Amino acid sequence: MTLLSLLLYAFVTSFTPGPNNIMAMLFANKYGFKSTFRFCLGVGAGFFVVILLSCYFNIMLKNFIPKIEFLMTIIGSAYMLYLAIKIIASKNNDQDADGDKNNSFFAGMLLQFVNPKGILYGITVISTFIIPNHTSNSSLLFYSVFLAFIGFMGTFSWSVFGSIFRMFLTKYRSPFNVIMALLLMYSAVSIFME
């Protein structure tokens, strides 16, 4: 395993736009960084579970995924489209009724199990870089924590961006919401183009 290749793949995948990062930036802009931090922790925890499951079930998933891949794609894309509609339909006030529910640790964690980008990343990074070289329980746990931390840092950095530019983005909330919704829609549609 080339550590540099693993790191490049992990950082590029974790820091590029996807449902986790877009939602973290949107939440930080709307509710503030402090409130969004629990969502980021949930994303990290959920991502850790996905990576750990990818480690131990990689061979089984490799045989089983072709049977459920289309269903996972539809569910994940539908969820992203739902989030995009919620973003466009959200009011321009600072708080809404679903804010605490959508911006929670549990919501961030749950998002990982319907996030096709995260699931495919977990399966790919484990099967390509980890399993061929490391199979001990301690090394699988180490890499799961390490990759989840990189994923958390990607989401965290997007929430910092949303928080820093809160004043600017508050002034242009409607166009910002439309752009974020379009990015989520693009993510949902692009899954079918791969």
For residue 40, which of 155, 165, 180 has the smallest C-alpha distance?
155
What pLDDT was estimated at residue 8? Answer: 82
- Model confidence pTM above 0.85: no
Which position has the higher pLDDT, 191 or 131?
131
Domain ranges of the chain: 3-193
Contacts of 66 (CB under 8 A, 6+ apart): none
Is 70 exceeded by the pLDDT of residue 137?
Answer: yes
8 Å CB contact between 187 and 80: yes
Amino acid at the residue 27: F
Residue-wise pLDDT for 45-68, tens only, equals: 999 999 999 888 775 655 666 666
8 Å CB contact between 192 and 77: yes
Band (193; pLDDT cuts 50, 70, 90): low
What secondary structure letter does DSSP report for 165? T
Is 80 exceeded by the pLDDT of residue 192?
Answer: no
Contacts of 111 (CB under 8 A, 6+ apart): 19, 20, 23, 42, 43, 46, 79
Band (168; pLDDT cuts 50, 70, 90): confident
What pLDDT was estimated at residue 41? Answer: 95
